[in-house]
Structure 1
Amino acid sequence: MKARHSLRIAALASAAWGGAVSLPAIAQNETPAFDSGSEIIVTARRREENILDVPVSVTAISSESIARLQANDMSGIQGAVPNVNLVQGRGSTSNSNFFIRGIGQPDALQTFDPAVGTYVDGVYFSRIQGALVNLFDVERVEVLRGPQGTLYGKNTIGGAVNIVSRKPSTTDFKAMGSLTYGSYDTWLANGYVSAPLVQDKLALSIAGVYDKRAGTVTDPLTGRKYNDRDTKAGRAILRATPSDRVELILSGDYTRQRTAPTLGYATAPLTNVLYNSAFQVIGVPVVKPAYPYGKYDYKASTSLAPGQGQRLDHWGLSFTANVELNDAVTLTSITGYRKLRPDYYIDFDATELEVADAFVGVHQKQFSQELQLKYDSGPLSGVFGLYYLNETIRSHQESYDDNYLQLQAAPGLILPLTFTRFIDDHQNVKSYAAFGQMTYDLTRKLSITAGLRYTKERKEYNRSTYTVLAGAQTAPFLFPGSLPAPYNDLDHVDFDAWTPMATLSYKPTRETLLYATVSKGFKSGGFNGRVNGLGDVTQVVDGVTTIIPYFKPETVWSYETGAKGSFLGGRVNLSAAAFYSDYKDFQARVGGGTTGIAGGSFPVVNAGKLRIWGVEFEASVKPMRNLNVAASVGYLNADYKEFNDGRRAPAFSCNPTGNAITCKPPFAPPMTVRLAADYSIPLGSASLTLGGDMRFVDKQWLSVDNRPGLQEDGYTIANAYVQADFAEGKYYLRGAVKNAFKELYKTDGQEFSSVGNIQTVYYGDPRTWTITAGFRF
C-alpha cells in the first residue's frame, strides 16, 4: 500500500513540475492570478492586512482558486491545506468534520462543541450540522491553524475557518454566473449580481446556487440510489456607506437540502444479542458479515424506506456596523441570528438489517453579539472585544433496532424482539467573553503582541428517554432526575478560563517575516447526550465506581515558530511553520460493555493527554509569465501521552492493554502533500489554461476507538481541468475531472461497537467529470 502511494506521488509530482500536467496553484501566499508584486489581504487578525505582516499560520484561498479546486462546499478543500482535515461527516449530507493539527470534534452529537470554529462574515456557527457551507458567493476562505481566542468572538481550541462573502460595490455593477453539467446527472447553477442602488451610498447583492446530483451509491437489493446532492441556497447583502467613516451591512442567507440518506459500508461482522426467557444473555450471533458485498464498489444496502431521507433548513441574519470614531479608533458591532433544522434518517449499520437505524431531528437557534474596538496609531495597534452567545438546541430522536435483540423462548424457538428507543432532550448554552490583543512595534522591524481572553459558559441540559420492547413500554429514564442524589438536580454546569497568548515577530525586510508565538486554547465541557442509563455516566476512578455527570473542558498550550516571505517581485512566495501542542483532558466517547436489554453504554470521558507536533510548508512559484506552480507539505506527529478510558474494559476500550501507545488519535494523518500548477496560452483576446492538482493524505484512524476497519491507509487524489476564456475573460468554458485515477478512499467512520459491533466507514466520491459555461462582468 505504501509503495503504491509512493509511486503515485512520484509520478504525479514529476508530471506536475515538468509541465505535462498543470494545476491551480494555492498556497499560503497565493494571489488569485499570480500577478507580480500584488498583495494578499486577509482579515485573520480582525483587520485588513497583507498576509506577509500576519504572524499567524493562515492559508488564504481566493474565489478563483475555489473554482479551480472544483469545491462546491467546504469539503472540496480537503487535502489543499497542510495538516487540515475538512470532510463531509458522520453519515449526513451537511455535517462537517473539521480537524486542524489533530484537534477536532470526534463525535457529531450536538452536546459537543466544535474544536474548529466556522465563521461566515464574522458570525460563528455553533454546530457542525449545517457547517459544510456552500461556497457560491465567497470572496475568499481563510484557514487559521492553532488556538483562536484573543481575536475571535467564540473561543476555538484547534483553529478557525473564516469565510468572507463578496461585498456589494456602491460604485460598479457586477454580475457573474455559471452552469455546470457532469457525471451522475450533475446540474450546478451559480449566479451573483451586485448593483449600486444609490451611487456611492447604497448597494445590494444577490447570490444563489442550485446543486443537484444523482446518488453515487446503489443498493443492489432495490436498485435505489443514495449519497446524492440536492441543495438550493441564496444570500442577499445590503451595504450602506452613508459617510466615509461609516459602513453598515445587512445580510440574510437561506439553505435548503433534500437528499436521500448517506450510506456507509459495514467493515465488521454485525451481531445481535440472544436472551433466554429470564433475559440473560446466552449468545451474540453474527447476523451479517463484514464487507457484505466484498471490496467496496459504491454498493451498500439499507433498511430505510423511500422517503426516509435527510432534510435541512438553515437560515440566518446578520448586521455589521463599522464606525470610524476617529483616525485611530474603529468600533465594530456584529449581530447574528441563526436557525437550523436538520431532520436526518441515518442507517448506522449500513445494511438491510435494522440493527441500528435512527431518526435525528434537531431544532437549533442562536443569537450572538460581538463588539470590537480597534485601535491603530503609530507603533500601537490592537483589538478589544466583548462577546455574547445564547444558543438553544432541542432534539427528538428515535432509534430503530428490530434486528438487534432476539429471545430464545424455547429450545429451537427464537423470536425477534422489536426494539425502539425514543429520546427528547434540550440544551441551552450561554457564553460570555472579554478579549483583547495589542501589538507594539518596538522598532520598524521588531514587534511584540500580547493578548488575553476570559471565557465563561453555562450549559443547561435535560433529557428523557424510554424504550418500547416487544410492544411493552419501559419507564422513562430522566437526566438528571433519575440519577441518585445529589446528582438528580444537576441540570447545569459552569465553565470558565483565562487564555493568554504572546507573539514576537521580526521583519528583516518588507517582504519577509519571522515569528514565534505561544497561546492557550480552551473548549468547555458538557453533558453526555447519550445518557440512556446510569452506565453512561459511570466510571471507575481509583478503583471506585463513581458517577461522573458531565465531562470537563479541554485545554491546549500551543507553541509555534514560523517564517514567510515574498521574493523576486512576488514570483516566489514561501511560508513555513513548526509547532508543538500540549493537549489535556481530551473529550472522548468510548464503548461500554453489552449489558442488559438496553445494549452497550456510551460514556464520555476526559481520556487524557496528547502530544502533537509538526511542520508545515507552502510555496507558490511563477517561473515564467504564464506558468504557476504551488506545493504544500504538512507533517503531523500526534500521540497519546495518557489514555484513561475510565473503565479498563479490554473488550470495548480504545486502550485494551492500559498502554497509551496502542491507541492513536483520530483524523491525524502524518503527512499531507499537495502539488499544483496551471499554464495559460494567450490567444489574442482569449486564452487557454491547463491545470490540475495532486493531493496526498496519509493513513489515519477514523474513530477514537481504533478498530481495524476504521482506518484509512492513505490516498492520492488527482484533479485536472482545461479552461478557455473569451473576450478578455468575460466568458469561459471549462472541462474538469476529479479523482482522475478512481482512487477508493475513506473519509469518516461511525463506531458503536457495543451495539451490534457497528463499525461503518464512509467513502469519498468516485471519479467525476463536469463541463461548465460561465460569464463575469
Structure 2
Amino acid sequence: MRIELSMRASCLAIVASMGAISTGVQAQGTATLAPTTTVASDAPVEAAADQGGGGLEDITVTAQRRPEKVQSIPVAVSAFNAQTIRALNLEDAISVSKYVPSMISQHNAGLATANSYFLRGLGNTQSAATFDPPVGTYVDDIYVARQNANNYAFFDTERVEVLRGPQGTLFGRNTTGGAVNIIMRKPSEDFGGKFEVTAGSYDRVTAKASIDVPLSEKILTKLSAFYVTDDGFVKNITTGEHLNGDKSYGVRGDVRLKPTESLTIDLSGEYTKNTGTYFGVRVLPVASSKFRTSTTPVFYEAAMNMRQVSCKGDPVTILLGTQDGLCLNTDNYATSAHINWDTDAGSLEAIVGYRKQNQGYINNYSSSTVNKFAGFVLADKIRNNQHSGELKWSSSAFDDKLKYVAGIFYLKENNELKTATFSGGTTSYVLARTASNGVTYGADIHFDQSVETAAAYAQADWEFLPDLTLTAGARYTYETKRIDFFQSDRFFSPAFTSNPTGAAGYSSAQVEAAGIPLKQEQNRVTPRVALTYKVTPGTIVYASATNGFKSGGWNGTNSVPFQVLPFRPERTWSYETGFKSDLFNRKLRLNGTAYLAVTKDLQVTSGIIVPPSTVISQLARNAGKLRTYGFEFETVFAPTKQFNVFVNGSIGKGKYLSTVLTPGVPLVSQITTDTIPLRVPTFQLATGATYKVPVAALGGNVGLTAAYRHNSSYAVAALNTAFAPREDFVDLNLTYDNDDGEWGAAFGVTNLTKQETITANFISLFPGDPRRFTGRLWFNF
C-alpha cells in the first residue's frame, strides 16, 4: 500500500535531528539518513547523554535470521528501527529506498501499489505473476510473492531491514538483488497508545493510531489502523480532475501469548484497502535533452478525456459500461503465526502465513491522447493467494565460538489474471488484435498459475581463531511452476477474433501446439561463504562470496500463444569486502562496502521477433550477462547530543558483458553490450545536518534539519529511450518534542527546489513527486 506522508524532507530532518547516518547500523540517539544506519528516536537527548553528550548506539537486526548487532555481521544491510521510521517519516516500503545506497525505486508504471526495486542494478518493472521480482519483500519473515502489492504500509512497524546483494541462503526466494524485511511491532506489556495526524499539500491528510491492551501477563493484544486521503498532484487538463491521488485505509490486530517463560506465540491478522493511482504526464512533440527522450514532459499535467470511476467489480465491464476508468482497487488480507520456543539447547521457531489479494485496475497509458478510445488502455482483474510455512532452529556451541541456524521452507502460490487491452478506437473501445497465419487473436488473456517451492538451508559462524570467524552456508531449493490459459469468458464482436462466437484469447492447447511447455521445474543449490576479522571491539573487516537465483517464467500476458515464451532463471554471484567501525567513543561511525556482482541469464524486456510473426514484440527474456560493481559508504558524526552530521552514498557502474541478439531486429530495439543498464547511478549522495536544543520556555526540544540528496543521471527505460536527469533534492524540517514525550509537532518541506524527474517511460513519461509542505502532530498516552 502506498502511504506516503508528504514529508520527505521532514523525514530527513527528523532523522538527522535524531542522530546519525550510517550504513547498516542505526544510531539510537541520533538521527540518520544513511542506508545502513538507523536513526534513533524521539528521545535522542537521553540516549546521547548516557554516552557523554554524544554517541551512537547499535540496532539489533535479524539479517542472518537471529538477533545480532548490525555492526558485527558481514552483511551489507541498512536497518531502520521504529524511532528512525518515525523520525524520517517513512510511511511505506518505497520511502525507505531513498536512504539505501545503490538503491533506486519507483512505483510500477500505472500501479501505485507495486514497487519496482532496483539494488545494484538488479530489479524488474513487471508486476505480472509470470515474472518474479529479484528484490524480495518479507513481512514478519513471511515472503510476499507478488510485486503488484509489495508497497507495504508502515502503520505500526518495529523495524525495517534492507539487505543488499543476493540472499540465496537465508532469504532464498528470488533474491538476486536483495531483500526488504519488514518487522511489525508486537503488543506491549503496558497499556498505552499513540495517535498521529498530518496535513499538507494536495489536500493530503493521514491518520495513524495504535493501542496496546494487555489482558493479562500471558495475553497481550494490540490494535492498529491507518487512513490516507490525497487529491493527487497531476491535473487532467481535459476533464479538470486530479490524478495520482490516494485513498487508503487498513487495520491490523496482534495477539501475543506467553503460556510459559520459554514459549511465545504471536498471532496477527490484517486488512488493507488501496485505491491510489499513478499515471504519466502529457508530452510535447519536441525532443528533450534533459531526459534524453523523443518528447518533452509537461509537469504535472495529463490530457486524457477519461474520468475516474470505481474499479470495484470487473474492470472490463466497468470500462465498456461507463466508458471511463483511471482507477485502482486493491483488497489485501493477511494472517500469520510465529511460534518461538527457547530451550537450553537452542531456539525453535515455526512461522506460517497466508496472504490474499484481489485487485482490479483500468489504466490509460496514453496521457497525451485526448481521444480516450484511441489510447492504450489496460483493464486487469487479478487474484493472488499464498500460504507458506517455515521451521527454523538456531543454536550455539563451544562457548559461542560456533553459532548456526538451519531450517526448512515451503510456499504454495496461486495466481489468476484476466487482462484486456484496448487501443486504436475512435468512438468506442476496440479490443487490441494480433493477426498471424490467418488467425486473429483478441487481447483478452486469461491464465491461472501455480507455484510450489520447498527448500532446506543451513548456515554456521565459526570463530576458529581469536577474532577471526568463518561463515559458511547453503540452501537447496526445489520449485515447480504450472500455467494454464483459457479463452475469455467475456465475449466481443466476432470481428475481433477468428472465433465465430467472439471469444478472445487462447487456450493451453494452443500454447502447447506452439511447442511451449506449461510446466517448469528448478533444482538449485545457492551457497555463501564469508570471513570476518574483529580488528578492535568497535571495528570489523570482512569479505564474502554469495550466490542467488531468481525463478524463470513465461511471457504470460502476450496476445498470441506462440509468444508465451519461457525464460530461464537469473543467477548471480556477488563478491564483497567491507568494514564497519565505531570510533572516538562511538561518536563517529564509518561503514563501507565494495562489491562486484556478475549476473547470468539476466531477465530483461527487449525487442524480439517470434516466428511465424514478422513483427517486433517487446518480450521478457534472458538478455545475457550483466556485471555491476561499486563502493557504498555511510558516515555519521555525532559529537554532542544537540548536533550531528551525516554523509552517505555510493559509486556504481554497470556493464552488459554479453547479450543475446535476435536476427532481423534493429539494434535500437535490442539489448546490446553498449546499452546502459537500468537504474545504476554513477554517484549517489545523501548529506545533512541537524541541530536540536532544549528550550525551557517551551518545555521541550526544538530541532532544525537540512538535508540534500543527489543522484547522477540514470536510465529508466531498458532500451535507453529515457533517463532520469541529475537529481538534487533539498529537504527542510522544523520539529518540536515535548519533554515528557507526550506530544510533538513538525513542519517540513520536501523537494524544496521543485526538482523535476521521471521514473519510467511506457507510452507516457511518469513523473517523480513534486514539492510538498506538511504539518504533523502526534500524541502518546
Common fold by TM > 0.5: yes
Equivalent residue in structure 1 for 2:38, among 19, 30, 40: 30
SS in 1 for 2:302: coil
Matching residue's letter, 1:30: T
Match for residue 300 of structure 2?
A: 298
Matches of 1:238 and 1:534, distance apart in 2: 49
Equivalent residue in structure 1 for 2:340, among 306, 313, 322: 322
Matching residue's letter, 2:80: I
After TM superposition, give the deviation of residue 765 of structure 1 in Å: 1.4
Query: CA separation of 1:268/1:342 partners in 2, compared to 1, >3 Å: closer, same or farther?
Result: farther
Asked whether the equivalents of residues 442 and 505 of structure 2 are also in contact (C-alpha less than 8 Å), the reply is no
Query: CA separation of 1:380/1:67 partners in 2, compared to 1, >3 Å: closer, same or farther?
Result: same
Asked whether the equivalents of residues 303 and 347 of structure 1 are also in contact (C-alpha less than 8 Å), the reply is no
Match for residue 550 of structure 2?
A: 523
- 1:44 maps to 2:63: yes
Match for residue 182 of structure 1?
A: 200
SS in 2 for 1:107: coil
Asked whether the equivalents of residues 345 and 359 of structure 1 are also in contact (C-alpha less than 8 Å), the reply is yes
Query: CA separation of 1:482/1:744 partners in 2, compared to 1, >3 Å: closer, same or farther?
Result: same
Deviation digits for residues 237-280 of structure 1 (CA, Å, limit 9, x no counterpart): 11112222111100111110124x4211356869xxxxxxxxxx
Asked whether the equivalents of residues 194 and 210 of structure 2 are also in contact (C-alpha less than 8 Å), the reply is yes
Asked whether the equivalents of residues 436 and 452 of structure 1 are also in contact (C-alpha less than 8 Å), the reply is yes
Query: CA separation of 1:31/1:128 partners in 2, compared to 1, >3 Å: closer, same or farther?
Result: same
Asked whether the equivalents of residues 530 and 602 of structure 1 are also in contact (C-alpha less than 8 Å), the reply is no
Query: CA separation of 1:693/1:85 partners in 2, compared to 1, >3 Å: closer, same or farther?
Result: same
Q: State the TM-score, normalizing by the size of structure 2.
A: 0.85
Matching residue's letter, 2:389: Q
- 1:722 maps to 2:754: no
Asked whether the equivalents of residues 366 and 390 of structure 1 are also in contact (C-alpha less than 8 Å), the reply is yes
Match for residue 336 of structure 1?
A: 353
SS in 2 for 1:129: helix
Query: CA separation of 1:680/1:382 partners in 2, compared to 1, >3 Å: closer, same or farther?
Result: same
Matching residue's letter, 2:484: N
Match for residue 596 of structure 2?
A: 580
Query: CA separation of 1:195/1:629 partners in 2, compared to 1, >3 Å: closer, same or farther?
Result: farther
Q: Which is further off, 26-35 or 38-47?
A: 26-35
Match for residue 389 of structure 2?
A: 369
Match for residue 718 of structure 2?
A: 704
Matching residue's letter, 2:231: A
Percent identity (aligned): 30
Match for residue 362 of structure 2?
A: 345
Matches of 2:329 and 2:706, distance apart in 1: 34
Q: Which is further off, 566-575 or 307-316?
A: 566-575
Query: CA separation of 1:645/1:241 partners in 2, compared to 1, >3 Å: closer, same or farther?
Result: farther
Match for residue 272 of structure 2?
A: 255
Matches of 1:486 and 1:217, distance apart in 2: 44
Matching residue's letter, 2:241: R
Matches of 2:778 and 2:247, distance apart in 1: 21
Equivalent residue in structure 2 for 1:771, among 744, 762, 775: 775
The number of equivalent residue pairs is 699
Q: Trace 1:603-618 onto structure 2 (pairs within 5 A).
A: 603-618=619-634
- 1:455 maps to 2:477: yes
Matches of 1:447 and 1:241, distance apart in 2: 35
After TM superposition, give the deviation of residue 596 of structure 1 in Å: 11
- 1:208 maps to 2:225: yes
Equivalent residue in structure 2 for 1:104, among 102, 114, 123: 123
Asked whether the equivalents of residues 153 and 370 of structure 1 are also in contact (C-alpha less than 8 Å), the reply is no
Match for residue 670 of structure 1?
A: 682
After TM superposition, give the deviation of residue 593 of structure 1 in Å: 6.4
Matches of 1:747 and 1:618, distance apart in 2: 25
- 1:571 maps to 2:587: yes
Matches of 2:455 and 2:441, distance apart in 1: 45
After TM superposition, give the deviation of residue 613 of structure 1 in Å: 0.5
After TM superposition, give the deviation of residue 314 of structure 1 in Å: 0.8
Matching residue's letter, 1:610: L
Asked whether the equivalents of residues 688 and 724 of structure 1 are also in contact (C-alpha less than 8 Å), the reply is yes
Q: Trace 1:378-777 onto structure 2 (pairs within 5 A).
A: 378=399, 379-403=401-425, 421-464=443-486, 471-475=495-499, 476-478=504-506, 480-483=508-511, 485=513, 487=515, 490-533=517-560, 536-537=563-564, 549-592=565-608, 601-650=617-666, 653-655=669-671, 659-661=672-674, 663-684=675-696, 685-707=699-721, 710-750=722-762, 758=763, 760-777=764-781
Matching residue's letter, 2:226: V
Match for residue 222 of structure 1?
A: 239
SS in 1 for 2:83: helix
Equivalent residue in structure 1 for 2:254, among 237, 240, 257: 237
After TM superposition, give the deviation of residue 591 of structure 1 in Å: 2.9
Asked whether the equivalents of residues 514 and 562 of structure 2 are also in contact (C-alpha less than 8 Å), the reply is no
Matches of 1:533 and 1:568, distance apart in 2: 65
SS in 2 for 1:178: strand
Match for residue 196 of structure 1?
A: 214
Matching residue's letter, 2:510: S
Query: Which residues of structure 1 form unaligned runs of 5+?
Result: 1-11, 271-288, 407-417, 538-548, 751-757
SS in 2 for 1:169: coil
SS in 2 for 1:64: helix
Matches of 1:494 and 1:529, distance apart in 2: 17
Asked whether the equivalents of residues 208 and 226 of structure 2 are also in contact (C-alpha less than 8 Å), the reply is yes
Deviation digits for residues 552-586 of structure 1 (CA, Å, limit 9, x no counterpart): 01101100001001122221111100000111001
SS in 1 for 2:95: helix
After TM superposition, give the deviation of residue 604 of structure 1 in Å: 2.6
Matching residue's letter, 1:565: S
Asked whether the equivalents of residues 31 and 40 of structure 1 are also in contact (C-alpha less than 8 Å), the reply is no
Match for residue 24 of structure 2?
A: none
Matches of 2:71 and 2:534, distance apart in 1: 9
Matches of 1:636 and 1:487, distance apart in 2: 41
Deviation digits for residues 362-408 of structure 1 (CA, Å, limit 9, x no counterpart): 100000001101112321111111111100000111111134999xx
Query: CA separation of 1:71/1:29 partners in 2, compared to 1, >3 Å: closer, same or farther?
Result: closer
After TM superposition, give the deviation of residue 675 of structure 1 in Å: 0.6
Asked whether the equivalents of residues 69 and 76 of structure 1 are also in contact (C-alpha less than 8 Å), the reply is no
Q: Which is further off, 356-365 or 151-160?
A: 151-160
Matches of 2:237 and 2:713, distance apart in 1: 30
After TM superposition, give the deviation of residue 486 of structure 1 in Å: 7.6
Query: CA separation of 1:692/1:243 partners in 2, compared to 1, >3 Å: closer, same or farther?
Result: farther
Asked whether the equivalents of residues 355 and 404 of structure 1 are also in contact (C-alpha less than 8 Å), the reply is no
Matches of 1:443 and 1:494, distance apart in 2: 42
Q: Which is further off, 137-146 or 341-350?
A: 341-350
Matching residue's letter, 1:768: R
Asked whether the equivalents of residues 559 and 581 of structure 1 are also in contact (C-alpha less than 8 Å), the reply is yes
Matching residue's letter, 1:189: A
Query: CA separation of 1:582/1:79 partners in 2, compared to 1, >3 Å: closer, same or farther?
Result: same
Matching residue's letter, 2:179: A
SS in 2 for 1:355: coil
After TM superposition, give the deviation of residue 698 of structure 1 in Å: 1.9
Deviation digits for residues 629-652 of structure 1 (CA, Å, limit 9, x no counterpart): 212111111110112143450066
Matches of 1:763 and 1:498, distance apart in 2: 41
Matches of 1:81 and 1:555, distance apart in 2: 23
Q: Trace 1:13-24 onto structure 2 (pairs within 5 A).
A: 24=31
Matches of 1:597 and 1:469, distance apart in 2: 24
Matching residue's letter, 1:219: N
Asked whether the equivalents of residues 400 and 419 of structure 1 are also in contact (C-alpha less than 8 Å), the reply is no
Matches of 2:610 and 2:201, distance apart in 1: 44
SS in 1 for 2:258: strand
Q: Which is further off, 298-307 or 43-52?
A: 298-307
* Aligned Cα root-mean-square deviation (Å): 2.8
Matches of 1:721 and 1:401, distance apart in 2: 46
Matches of 2:683 and 2:473, distance apart in 1: 32
Matches of 1:600 and 1:226, distance apart in 2: 33
